[in-house]
Amino acid sequence: MKILYIHQYFKTPSEPGSTRSYWIAKELIKHGHQVTMLTATDGIRTRVQKVKVDGIDVIYLRVHYDQRMSIGKRLISFFNFMLGSTFQAIRIKNVDLVIATSTPLTVGFPAIILKYLKKIPYIFEVRDLWPEVPIQMEGLRNPILKKMSFLFALLIYKNANHIVALSPGMVDGIEKRGISNEKISLIPNMAKIDAFCPRVRNYELMERLGLKKNSLKVIHFGSLGIANGAFTIIESAALLKGNDQIEFVFIGGGATEQDLVKSCVELDLENVHFLGKFPMDMTSQIVNLCDVSIVSFKDLPILYTNSPNKLFDSLSAGKAILVNSAGWTKELVERNACGAYVNPNRPEELAQKLLYWLHQPAEMERMGANSRKLAETKYDKTILCALFVKLVQNEERLIRFK
């Protein structure tokens, strides 16, 4: 089949960010399908650029987006990609199936247009429940826009041949819209056991980054957006101020990064390090230097449904994991004895847990081993990409024999 894959934030392993679409596309190609990726970047001079990336035909549209942008500017970015991708999608010939992956929700628009204009079916992937997420985060307040957004989401769900959700909570949220469970598949985010793995630590890199050799290192890697609620980590770091045996490491960036740095300066915290953004290979090396991975979100019910990349990369890396979201990730780490939950509204819980683990290295080791085993046996990309391809193969049969 010729598959058009629409993802505004498509990333390759050489770029910072989620690579889920890259691995799925690669697996589809491995099974004989042709994949065209329609995505956005501001790193090109022309309005449209077509390139081949590891066998994937990628069409880049020049659309600026940055996590530090205001809500208004983000909406403009979403709208620009929605229009540009629709125009480009219509021009692509002989497409058999469309895969559209959110966020934002607007990626569903070109999929719907192709279904009505060219009778091309589509699979819609839900990475976050929209518009519930921006509503609960108070980014979408206008009652008319709220209603229109809910209707638009329902339109996308109803017209999709199939829906892929990334967490049990997302499945529940879609079902509450009146969508049959038979139309929804759960394929969570993926571990990358070949990219993130326990190995001998690079002490030269550790020294170069200004980290201590024998400290307990706690890492938060990935986005530092408003949804991540990372200020509670800084509050915990402040409670541990003066303890030179515990260090906090941040990799990545986002809307709150500068405010977090400012808070650390004001609090005179020497135990917190902001290292910036890195491609996956370097991120993996830095994660390997650390002992504990923290997966942080604001305390909002809708964020309990998240399926965060950093959680599954932490499993791959064989780390003890701390989560502060009282949803399925809490159940996952507790049920599999690979981490613990700390209340995001009680920074002292995080501080106390780290002080406890500082003197219980064997317990952390056991949790790290459990994390790695879970990644290898249940969540690795080779397993989950195969499930996604199987779903696509089923759609192919439906297309051919309907």
Q: CATH number, domain at 124?
A: 3.40.50.2000
Residue 272 CB-density burial (10 A; 0-12 exposed, 13-18 middle, 19+ buried): buried
Tokens of 161: 């041949």
Q: Are residues 368 and 391 in the same domain?
A: no
Tokens of 59: 């069409």
**Domain annotation covers residue 195:** no
Q: Are residues 228 and 106 in the same domain?
A: no
Q: Are residues 207 and 271 in the same domain?
A: yes
H/E segment holding residue 365: helix 361-374
Calpha distance 397→303 (Å, rounded): 36
Radius of gyration for the chain, computed over Cα atoms and rounded to the nearest angstrom: 21
Q: Are residues 138 and 175 in the same domain?
A: yes
**Domain annotation covers residue 196:** no
Calpha distance 127→117 (Å, rounded): 26
**Domain annotation covers residue 97:** yes
Q: Are residues 129 and 245 in the same domain?
A: no
**Domain annotation covers residue 179:** yes
Structural domains of the chain, count = 2
Q: Are residues 105 and 71 in the same domain?
A: yes
What's this model's pTM, rounded to 2 decimal places? 0.90
Per-residue pLDDT of the chain (402 residues; tens, 9 = 90+): 999 999 999 999 888 788 999 999 999 999 999 999 999 998 788 899 999 999 999 999 999 887 777 777 877 888 999 999 999 999 999 999 999 998 889 999 999 999 999 999 999 999 988 888 888 888 788 888 889 889 999 999 999 999 999 999 999 999 999 999 999 999 999 999 999 999 999 999 999 999 999 999 999 998 898 889 999 999 999 999 989 899 999 999 888 999 999 999 999 999 999 999 888 899 999 999 999 999 999 999 889 998 999 999 999 999 999 999 998 999 999 999 999 999 999 999 999 999 999 999 999 999 999 999 999 999 999 999 999 999 998 866 655 533
The residues with which 247 forms a beta bridge, in sequence order, are 217
CB 323 within 8 A of CB 339: yes
pLDDT at position 401 is 39
CB 75 within 8 A of CB 65: no
**Domain annotation covers residue 104:** yes
Q: Are residues 69 and 170 in the same domain?
A: yes
H/E segment holding residue 294: strand 292-295
Using CA of residue 42, residue 45, residue 48, residue 49, what is the dihedral sign?
negative
Q: How far is CA 4 from CA 28, 35, 88, 96, in A?
A: 11, 6, 11, 8
Q: Which of 238, 316, 237, 329 is nearest to 284 (CA)?
A: 316
What's 47's DSSP letter? S
Q: Are residues 153 and 238 in the same domain?
A: no
Q: DSSP assignment of 224-246, as one string?
A: --GGG-THHHHHHHHHTTT-TTE
Q: What angle do CA 382, 383, 385 make, to 5 degrees?
A: 65
Calpha distance 195→239 (Å, rounded): 34
Greatest Cα pair distance in the chain? 68
Calpha distance 7→286 (Å, rounded): 28
**Domain annotation covers residue 86:** yes
Q: DSSP assignment of 295-314, as one string?
A: E---S-GGGGG---HHHHHH
Domain range holding 290?
Answer: 203-379
**Domain annotation covers residue 309:** yes
Calpha distance 132→129 (Å, rounded): 6
Peptide bond into 104 cis (omega under 30): yes
Q: Are residues 387 and 375 in the same domain?
A: no
**Domain annotation covers residue 198:** no
H-type helices in 12-70, by residue range?
Answer: 20-30
What's 121's DSSP letter? -
Q: Are residues 78 and 186 in the same domain?
A: yes
Q: Are residues 143 and 234 in the same domain?
A: no
Q: Are residues 140 and 284 in the same domain?
A: no
